[in-house]
């Protein structure tokens, strides 16, 4: 290697690793460890590139990391070109290197495959770089200010053996593609959401404002929903398959988006790029026609709910119209193996049903070890569909905060709540649910663009219901916000438990009941919601309640919610007022 080539390689390493020129060389971020403060010295001596980590990384570790990133080629003539900061580096070599067709992707090949002008793609910021020794297309992700916030590389056109078409710049996090075009979308009054970058390129080339979700699983409501503020209509190209359906569900989970969302169906074509490649000259008017024919998400949701309600009613009608419904719930609990007093389990079941009301009940089962508190909660939860419950048996203290699951109209079930600290992320998140039936949590994160730490609010809209089990009463801040239920621990209850255990051991346990109709009942209630229940006798009930304890101010609404939940379970047997609200009776 000549001195000139060594200098070029050193400069390339420095530029890639975010380095700066020093008096005797360069200083950059060491790739062998999480280097927050540049500690890698890079120097050229005669015709050699020398590297040294001031933080103590071994020479082998540094060289291995540089080789892995495609930055260390001691025997090559010179690097191909200088890379951008932090990207997989262009590796040394020349254009005559042999390559397998499809094993690399220069911009010209990408443009030919998508039938788009190279000049247009370059105007979108695309360019050819060398990633790990092979040509790839560099696609910058810009924020609303136009600054590069992340970079993704398109390495090939086909998936091949394992999908290695894409790679992110090391340390970059996915975000929406095309955020720098949001102003144009707001001016146009609409935006088209698509999966990936190539559909954006096709639509941008035809003047259509578009944003790309970099993969169906990369939609993040707390990050992406705010970007859509001020845009009147949000179109989503509904791609076929489970991934496309999951993306539509994720995007529509936010009410603020769902009311503006419309689904574009392209018939036999998977995406806009496919439609364009099939008939380029006709693409503008065909895509415009597809936009005009787009289906409002609310229509889709209503059709799905109607179909789900019909299917659930067919299975649960016997329960829904049975005046002995609550007795049948108790019988199912007993037949499932619960011993003795079913009252605690019934209370859990009623509280769980209240998740479908605007203000559900939070409940805590408090009992000594071995009293059966978890068994009681599990017996009630067994009567619910699995998607009605978000269970937390053992998880990190931030798992609930960062979950991608929708929690509205669901139960957060925390078994063994003794393990939850009184302070910290878990305590704050669960206390937020207990206080407001929704989760709000502020986190401090590092902004990848500015490098500064900023506060981000994570919200999980409700209503969310909380159910916990514990050997001791919950913390003081939550005590009046939960309905505390105890488990009998007298001799009679213990004897009943022993009898059930003996029946199982002797092979005389009853046949477990068919819980399908009970699951269908809850699905019917959910599909026909939201529900509102009025308690006409609430005023008289308020006059009869004991009022010596101040906490009654919070306990009385729990009683009313329990009455409303019972009326909701009997909705097919209850009348409705002029406003369509279910009217509770004294039976409830």
φ/ψ of residue 540, rounded to 5:
-65, -35
Of 77, 62, 59, the C-alpha closest to 30 is 62
Q: What is the pLDDT of residue 475?
A: 64
Please compute, for residue 469, the number of CA atoms within 13 A of its CA located in the half-sphere on the CB side: 24
The C-alpha atoms of residue 150 and residue 163 are separated, in whole angstroms, by 20
Q: Which residue has the tokens 């789900």?
A: 308
Q: What is the pLDDT of residue 474?
A: 66
Cα-based torsion angle of the residue sequence 253, 255, 260, 262 in order, rounded to the nearest 10 degrees = 30
The C-alpha atoms of residue 132 and residue 68 are separated, in whole angstroms, by 8
Q: What is the pLDDT of residue 321?
A: 96
Read off the tokens for 587: 């039976």
Q: What is the pLDDT of residue 517?
A: 95
**pLDDT, tens only, 284-321:** 999 999 999 999 999 988 898 899 999 999 999 999 99
Phi-psi category of 21—alpha, beta or left, where left has phi over 0 and alpha has psi -120 to 50?
A: beta
The C-alpha atoms of residue 475 and residue 418 are separated, in whole angstroms, by 10
Q: What is the pLDDT of residue 425?
A: 65
Pairing assessment for the beta strands 363-366 and 483-486 based on DSSP bridges: parallel
pTM flag (> 0.85): no
Q: Which residue has the tokens 């695309």?
A: 126
Q: What is the pLDDT of residue 96?
A: 31
Burial 279-307 (b: 16+ CB within 10 A, else e): eeeebeebbeebbeebeebeebeeeeeee
* pLDDT < 50: residue spans in the chain: 74-102
Q: What number of other Cβ atoms are within 10 A of residue 96's Cβ?
A: 5
Which three-class secondary structure state does DSSP give residue 4? Answer: helix
Query: Is-contact 135 70, C-beta < 8 A?
Result: no
Burial class (CB in 10 A: 0-12, 13-18, 19+), 159: exposed
Query: Is-contact 583 333, C-beta < 8 A?
Result: no
Which three-class secondary structure state does DSSP give residue 552? Answer: helix
- Residue 154 parent element (H or E): strand 148-154
């Amino acid at each position: 290697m000549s001195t000139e080539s060594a200098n070029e390689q050193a400069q390339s390493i420095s530029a890639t690793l975010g380095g700066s020129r020093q008096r005797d060389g360069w200083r950059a971020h060491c790739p062998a460890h999480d280097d927050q403060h540049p500690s890698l010295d890079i120097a050229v001596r005669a015709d050699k590139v020398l590297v040294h980590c001031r933080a103590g990384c071994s020479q082998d570790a540094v060289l291995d990391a540089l080789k892995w990133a495609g930055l260390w080629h001691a025997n090559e003539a010179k690097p191909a070109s200088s890379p951008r900061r932090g990207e997989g580096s262009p590796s040394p070599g020349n254009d005559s290197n042999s390559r397998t067709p499809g094993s690399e992707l220069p911009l010209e090949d990408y443009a030919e495959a998508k039938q788009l002008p190279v000049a247009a793609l370059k105007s979108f910021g695309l360019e050819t770089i060398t990633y790990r020794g092979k040509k790839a297309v560099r696609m910058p992700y810009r924020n609303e200010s136009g600054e590069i916030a992340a970079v993704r590389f398109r390495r090939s056109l086909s998936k091949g053996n394992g999908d290695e078409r894409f790679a992110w710049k090391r340390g970059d996090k996915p975000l929406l593609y095309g955020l720098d075009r949001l102003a144009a979308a707001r001016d146009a009054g609409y935006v088209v959401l698509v999966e990936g970058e190539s559909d954006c390129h096709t639509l941008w080339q035809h003047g259509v404002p578009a944003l790309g979700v970099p993969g169906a699983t990369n939609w993040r409501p707390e990050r992406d929903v705010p970007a859509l503020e001020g845009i009147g209509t949000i179109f989503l190209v509904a791609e076929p398959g489970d991934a496309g359906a999951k993306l539509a569900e994720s995007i529509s989970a936010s009410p603020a988006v769902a009311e503006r969302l419309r689904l574009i169906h392209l018939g036999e074509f998977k995406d806009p790029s496919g439609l364009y490649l099939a008939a380029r000259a006709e693409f503008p008017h065909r895509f415009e026609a597809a936009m005009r024919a787009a289906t409002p998400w609310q229509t889709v949701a209503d059709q799905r709910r109607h179909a789900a309600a019909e299917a659930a009613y067919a299975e649960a009608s016997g329960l829904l119209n049975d005046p002995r419904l609550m007795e049948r719930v108790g019988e199912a609990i007993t037949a499932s193996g619960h011993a003795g007093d079913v009252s605690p389990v019934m209370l859990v079941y009623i509280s769980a049903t209240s998740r479908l009301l605007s203000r559900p009940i939070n409940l805590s089962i408090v009992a000594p070890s071995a009293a059966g508190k978890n068994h009681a909660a599990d017996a009630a939860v067994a009567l619910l569909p699995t998607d009605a419950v978000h269970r937390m048996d053992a998880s990190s203290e931030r798992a609930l905060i960062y979950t991608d699951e929708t929690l509205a109209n669901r139960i957060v079930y925390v078994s063994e709540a003794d393990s939850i600290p009184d302070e910290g992320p878990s305590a704050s998140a669960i206390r937020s649910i207990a206080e407001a039936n929704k989760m709000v949590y502020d986190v401090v994160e590092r902004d990848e663009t500015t490098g500064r730490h900023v506060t981000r609010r994570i919200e999980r809209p409700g209503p969310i219901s909380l159910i916990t089990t514990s050997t001791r009463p919950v913390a003081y801040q939550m005590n009046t916000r939960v309905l505390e239920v105890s488990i009998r621990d007298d001799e009679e209850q213990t004897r009943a438990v022993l009898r059930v255990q003996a029946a199982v051991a002797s092979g005389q346990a009853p046949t477990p009941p068919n819980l399908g109709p009970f699951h269908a009942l809850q699905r019917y209630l959910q599909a026909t919601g939201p529900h509102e229940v009025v308690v006409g006798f609430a005023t008289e009930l308020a006059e009869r309640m004991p009022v010596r304890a101040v906490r009654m101010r919070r306990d009385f609404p729990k009683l009313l919610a329990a009455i409303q939940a019972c009326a909701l379970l009997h909705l097919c047997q209850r009348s409705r007022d002029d406003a369509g609200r279910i009217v509770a009776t004294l039976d409830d």
